[in-house]
């Protein structure tokens, strides 16, 4: 092979080659983990459907257990891939992955250089605070809409009462024998 100098882990060429090798492995691990979590979410929605027989629910529950075990195994591979990257990314715990209910959580993991982690929205706590803020804003808008609907409903009830009293008076004039 006529190799003059072998690379060592301290060499820049070694690090560059490691980065080239680890990024496709990283992307594959994220993609596979995402697929398993999506399948788990679909299984959970199946369990919550009405009209399922007991045996079917039991079957889906067993499938969820198997899927959880597969997620744990894949998570181990993901974490080992992440720690081998240069620079190393953050590892995930099983509880964090199980809490992923939106696919956007996986979109941030797909950033191979880790650039997404420097942005404020990439921090889970910051995202949770923003989600809470927007929910509060939506609640305020909902309160405004309800206040308008309440006024309209009160006007409807007042007008309906006037209309019914007027109709009662007209009927009493036409037919005084009615109670």
Please check the confidence at residue 172 and state whether its pLDDT lies above 60.
Answer: yes
Nearest to 61 by CA among 47, 42, 72, 73: 47
Query: Helices marked H in 10-123 — which ranges?
Result: 12-47, 54-84, 94-99, 104-109
Could you give the percent of the chain with pLDDT greater than 70?
A: 80
Range in 58-62, 99-103, 137-141 the model is least confident about: 99-103
Please check the confidence at residue 135 and state whether its pLDDT lies above 70.
Answer: yes
Q: What is the mean pLDDT of residues 14-38?
A: 76
Secondary structure class of 171 (helix, strand, coil): helix
Please check the confidence at residue 164 and state whether its pLDDT lies above 90.
Answer: yes
Q: What is the pLDDT of residue 132?
A: 92
Nearest to 40 by CA among 72, 79, 83: 72
Confidence of residue 95 (pLDDT cuts 50, 70, 90): confident
Cα 52 to Cα 47: distance, rounded to the nearest angstrom: 8
Please check the confidence at residue 76 and state whether its pLDDT lies above 70.
Answer: yes
Residue 106 token pair:
């996986």
Q: What is the pLDDT of residue 48?
A: 74
């Amino acid at each position: 092979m006529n190799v003059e100098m072998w690379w060592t882990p301290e060499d820049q060429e070694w690090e560059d080659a490691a980065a080239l090798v680890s990024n496709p492995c990283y992307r594959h691990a994220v993609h596979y983990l995402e697929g398993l979590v999506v399948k788990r979410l679909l299984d959970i929605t199946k369990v919550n459907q009405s009209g399922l027989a007991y045996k079917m629910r039991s079957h889906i529950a067993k499938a969820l257990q198997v899927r959880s075990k597969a997620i744990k195994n894949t998570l181990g591979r993901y974490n080992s891939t992440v720690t081998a990257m240069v620079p190393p990314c953050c590892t995930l715990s099983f509880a964090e992955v199980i809490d992923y209910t939106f696919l956007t959580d996986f979109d941030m993991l797909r950033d191979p250089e880790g650039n997404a982690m420097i942005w404020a929205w990439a921090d889970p706590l910051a995202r949770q605070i923003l989600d809470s803020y927007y929910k509060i804003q939506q609640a305020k808008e909902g309160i405004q809409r309800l206040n308008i609907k309440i006024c309209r409903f009160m006007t409807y009830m007042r007008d309906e009462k006037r209309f019914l009293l007027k109709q009662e008076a007209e009927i009493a004039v036409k037919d005084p024998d009615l109670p």
